[in-house]
Structure 1
Amino acid sequence: MNTTTLPLGASAAPAADARQPVAALAVIFLTEMWERFSYYGMRALLVLYLVNALGYPRGDALQLYGLYTGLVYITPLIGGMLADRWLGARLAAVVGAAIMMLGHFAMAFPSLLHLALGLLVVGNGFFKPNTTAMVGMLYESEHDPRRAAGYTYFYMGVNLGAFLAPFGAGTLGQLVGWHWGFASAGVGMAIGMVVLCLGQRWLGGAGLREGRGAVGWKDAPLVVALCVASVLLVLAVLAVAPWLGALWQPLPGAAKLLVGLALLGGCGWLALRQPGGQVQPLTRAEVGRVVAIGIVAFFVIFFWMGFEQAGGSLTLFADQQTDRQAFGWEIPASWFQAINPLGILLMAPLFAWAWQTLDRSRFALPDPAKQGLGMIVLGLGFVVMTIAQRRAEALGPVGPQWLAMVYLLNTIGELMLSPVGLSLVSHAAPRRLVGLLMGVWLMAIGVANYLAGALEGLLAGSGVPLYVFLLSSSMGAGVLLLVLTPLLQRMITRHD
């Protein structure tokens, strides 16, 4: 729901006789589908659980949600680098799946809340960038016309899991018991891990890391144990010295940015080092492509900062300011989050046809331009949300059609931006940096997730309504990205 030559809009259609690696795609599709079921089941419940079950104040619940979802998308930077350097994408994905499964089961116990969130954050760091990168690894050439369609199927798997999550985990959590909802997310992750392990023979060499310094499969349990021990150690240190956890929050934004850039630089240096210790430099064209990916990733922060209101302020709006009565029954607030993935599943083929038709014409749009337009469409959704918020404050709960319209516009914007970005990173990134740069893309989403949760508090006292700020930031960033598109396109397509 999250993620070019667009998976949903390639500039070249696959040849009529080109065959997809169907079995391998099916393994990754089902693995990602069940992982997304577990993640979006968790997302559908977390804020409601914190507020309604654990008694968190609204601001604290949103801040914890933002911290969790932010870290979930920042740790892939490290997980992608470790896969490039030692583990390989396939082993890293299995390790991540195992750690996340433990985290989801731990969520069923209120006393293990912080341990569970820590495990989910670490596990996702190993899992997310590497399953995404493995799709591209199924194709030998970066110009393989089948790649775009492969990412389309992958993205539909993501959204099938996201669609099922609110009805499965969300319904169990709200109507049966919170622990049942979280445990069902754990079961989903366990199924995904089993599918990935049993499907090894169909994946061929995709995602395998061989040669000097590679970590073998027999070491996977040790890697999982070390990760769990690391999370426990961090929690123990924070319990003994809670002041350490308070050091980060008051740091100015510039200092936080420098810490992030230092982390990014360290991971990049490790990824470029060869087994003998020497650093293999990038060519001038590769530098340009890396910089272009970084610029686009920065811009999409403004998209996801708005889009990820779905698990925070929009869920609370559904819970507290939306009339959810239908035929004498109250619709669970978590169900509204199913509108987005359902829209993806229904509209993805239409967008695939529209982009391919457009790209074969003289009106073809470069990938950055598609993403800029997606940001503007997202802003239109917040125009609707601004009106809905004002009506709710003046007249009381509003009808569900308001949120449905917001989610529909958000979905159209996502189809124009996210799968475009996934495939852009896959085909433009230097081969030895695919995992790292997929982590950079996800790190940008992580920064946006953190801001999505913290934004309401940051704007408090400023006089600027949340949704007015979001419509301005997303539309403004979209227009600027459109202006920069010619330059970015030259950087992406340049070759030495």
Structure 2
Amino acid sequence: MWERFSYYGMRALLVLYLVNALGYSRDNALALYGIYTGLVYLTPLIGGAVADRILGKRRAAIVGGVVMMLGHLAMAFEPLLYYALGLIIVGNGFFKPNTTSMVGELYRGEDDPRRAGGYSIFYMGVNLGAFLAPLVAGTLGEKMGWHWGFGAAAVGMAAGLVQFCWQQPALGRSGLMPHQGPVTFKDAPLIAMWSAGCTAFVVGAYQLWKVVGPVFGGLPTLAQVAIAVGGIGGAIWWIIKPDAKDAEHAPLTGAEWGRVISIVIVMVFVIAFWTGFEQAGGTMALFADQNTQRMVGSFEVPASWFQSINPLVIVALAPVFALLWTRLDQSRFKMGDTLKQALGMVVLGLGFIVMAMAQGIADTGVKVGMHWLAIVFVIHTLGELMLSPVGLSMVSRVAPAKVLSLMMGVWFLSSAAANYLAGVMEQMLHGSGYALYPFLAAFAIGAGVLLALLSPLLERLMKAK
């Protein structure tokens, strides 16, 4: 809860801060938002591998929390903007895949029927923090000063670290390597060393990018994509390559490779969902700020508050969906995980049909009522509940144990690609004749229908032993 409070507090403010405080153009603000949120979901690939091979999940999560806290503190100072974003990106890479996979370790075996419900409860806690963040950090940032909002996010992360360490007895052996015990004060030097190393890496990487970035940016788009895909693919192979001397990291069997491939295929489809969903912090945040009538009497509702609708609905409905999936899975109407996710994509597309209608009204020069965005956020949240907790449960159940944290990181690659696309999609569609929201509706619905058709084949791969 507290970690998501810190992240979503910053996310609710970022585009508004770039446009209204720093004078960024709409396209540049959305592009930076896309690059930042994309990298946030790319670094879990590395953080998961470091946890599997070196630190263990629990210690890696604490390192990530410390680094993220430093990033949120740095966000309060305008000259440190890029360093701050880099720290949050790297810290999230250590935190996100490891806490998520630790939830799966609390359950007995792959077929424990409580696992999907457990992830829905976990998801409810996550979204409680996401609900509070725009209300607290968003209000402080928009009404009192941007640095107050970013500072509140740092306080939230500190609270999360204290909570995580204090409640370790409830976790049992989850997140620990065979030779490890719970995290104690004796681990402080190790955590400090890794946190300092991450900070030095961010500083060095930004200085290097100031030299390499202009050269890379001058390359044709196809060359940029080829370099990015080659680098990511090479990193994945280096991480999972067979090691004959290490039984724990022995080569995957044919059945295990089939399960890995099935996860990757679903991940590609899920990109369509998150590309649309992540408009919430980009174009939809600007729509709330510029095209929505937000006055209630003499009080102007902060634009960031709309981002609390999504987690509020999740907190209210996550237990309902957890019960629904459990009941369905025990009945003759049982749906596979991939089919549930396909349905979520179609529901998201329906939300963008409503959003396209609202944009059509706004294009006439009339500010729309707040109920338009509220309806869209509710529809999108229903789609999310059908896709995200189900997907996390699927990965924890299907991925071979020896690469579980890595596969959580790979799963988040879909969000990395989607978040980047979310930031640049509007700019990509300029001059194409396609409006953003109708395009996203067709994109999500089409991907959902195709995934539903492939669902039987993917389910067979996932059950291979």
Cα distance, 1:141 vs structure 2:
1.6
216, 222, 225: which one pairs with 1:253?
A: 225
Aligned length: 459
Letter in 1 for 2:256: E
Matches within 5 A, 1:237-276: 237-239=208-210, 242-244=213-215, 246=217, 250=221, 251-269=223-241, 272-273=242-243, 276=246
Preserved contact between residue 135 and residue 151 of structure 1 (Cα < 8 Å): yes
Match of 1:417?
387
110, 116, 119: which one pairs with 2:84?
A: 116
Is 1:221 the equivalent of 2:192?
yes
286, 290, 315: which one pairs with 2:256?
A: 286
Letter in 2 for 1:182: F
Going from structure 1 to structure 2, the CA distance change for 1:248 and 1:349 (only over 3 Å counts) comes to farther
Match of 2:132?
164
Preserved contact between residue 41 and residue 182 of structure 1 (Cα < 8 Å): yes
Supply the RMSD in Å over aligned alpha carbons. 1.9
Going from structure 1 to structure 2, the CA distance change for 1:377 and 1:190 (only over 3 Å counts) comes to same
Is 1:95 the equivalent of 2:60?
no
Match of 2:204?
233
Greater mean alpha carbon deviation, residues 216-225 or residues 171-180: 216-225
SS at match of 2:342: helix
Cα distance, 1:394 vs structure 2:
1.4
Is 1:431 the equivalent of 2:431?
no
51, 58, 73: which one pairs with 1:105?
A: 73
Match of 2:309?
339
Q: Distance in 2 between matches of 1:293 and 1:181?
A: 37
Cα distance, 1:279 vs structure 2:
5.7
Cα distance, 1:92 vs structure 2:
0.4
Is 1:389 the equivalent of 2:349?
no
TM-score by length of 2: 0.95
Match of 1:181?
149
Preserved contact between residue 10 and residue 153 of structure 2 (Cα < 8 Å): yes
Match of 1:356?
326
Is 1:319 the equivalent of 2:289?
yes
Preserved contact between residue 238 and residue 245 of structure 1 (Cα < 8 Å): no
Q: Deviations over 1:419-467 (max 9, x none)?
A: 0000000111111111000001111111100100011111111111111
Going from structure 1 to structure 2, the CA distance change for 1:241 and 1:261 (only over 3 Å counts) comes to closer
Q: Deviations over 1:103-154 (max 9, x none)?
A: 0000000000000000000000000000000111122322223322321221
Preserved contact between residue 384 and residue 406 of structure 1 (Cα < 8 Å): yes
Preserved contact between residue 238 and residue 244 of structure 1 (Cα < 8 Å): no
Going from structure 1 to structure 2, the CA distance change for 1:240 and 1:358 (only over 3 Å counts) comes to closer
Going from structure 1 to structure 2, the CA distance change for 1:223 and 1:404 (only over 3 Å counts) comes to same
Greater mean alpha carbon deviation, residues 446-455 or residues 319-328: 319-328
Preserved contact between residue 77 and residue 267 of structure 1 (Cα < 8 Å): no
Q: Deviations over 1:149-194 (max 9, x none)?
A: 3212211111000000010100000000000000000000011011
Q: Deviations over 1:280-299 (max 9, x none)?
A: 11122211111111111111
Going from structure 1 to structure 2, the CA distance change for 1:173 and 1:361 (only over 3 Å counts) comes to same
Cα distance, 1:320 vs structure 2:
0.4
Q: Distance in 2 between matches of 1:267 and 1:466?
A: 37
Q: Distance in 2 between matches of 1:380 and 1:170?
A: 28
Q: Distance in 2 between matches of 1:118 and 1:220?
A: 19
Q: Distance in 2 between matches of 1:341 and 1:42?
A: 15
Going from structure 1 to structure 2, the CA distance change for 1:290 and 1:266 (only over 3 Å counts) comes to same
Cα distance, 1:363 vs structure 2:
1.5
**Consecutive unaligned residues in structure 1, runs of 5 or more:** 1-32
Greater mean alpha carbon deviation, residues 322-331 or residues 123-132: 322-331
Cα distance, 1:237 vs structure 2:
2.2
Going from structure 1 to structure 2, the CA distance change for 1:146 and 1:321 (only over 3 Å counts) comes to same
Q: Distance in 2 between matches of 1:277 and 1:430?
A: 14
Cα distance, 1:255 vs structure 2:
4.4
Preserved contact between residue 117 and residue 326 of structure 2 (Cα < 8 Å): no
Is 1:490 the equivalent of 2:460?
yes
Q: Distance in 1 between matches of 2:160 and 2:121?
A: 17
Q: Distance in 2 between matches of 1:334 and 1:191?
A: 22
Q: Distance in 2 between matches of 1:347 and 1:140?
A: 26
Letter in 2 for 1:284: G
Cα distance, 1:40 vs structure 2:
0.5
Query: RCO greater where, 1 or 2, for CA within 8 Å and sep 6 or more?
Result: 1
Q: Distance in 1 between matches of 2:53 and 2:37?
A: 26
438, 444, 454: which one pairs with 1:468?
A: 438
SS at match of 1:394: coil
Preserved contact between residue 293 and residue 425 of structure 1 (Cα < 8 Å): yes
Preserved contact between residue 374 and residue 416 of structure 1 (Cα < 8 Å): yes
96, 99, 117: which one pairs with 1:131?
A: 99
Cα distance, 1:360 vs structure 2:
2.2
Match of 2:275?
305
TM-score by length of 1: 0.89
Q: Deviations over 1:221-277 (max 9, x none)?
A: 1111111111111122234555355367843534433333222222222xx536659
SS at match of 2:148: helix
Cα distance, 1:47 vs structure 2:
0.1
**Consecutive unaligned residues in structure 2, runs of 5 or more:** none
Match of 1:20?
none
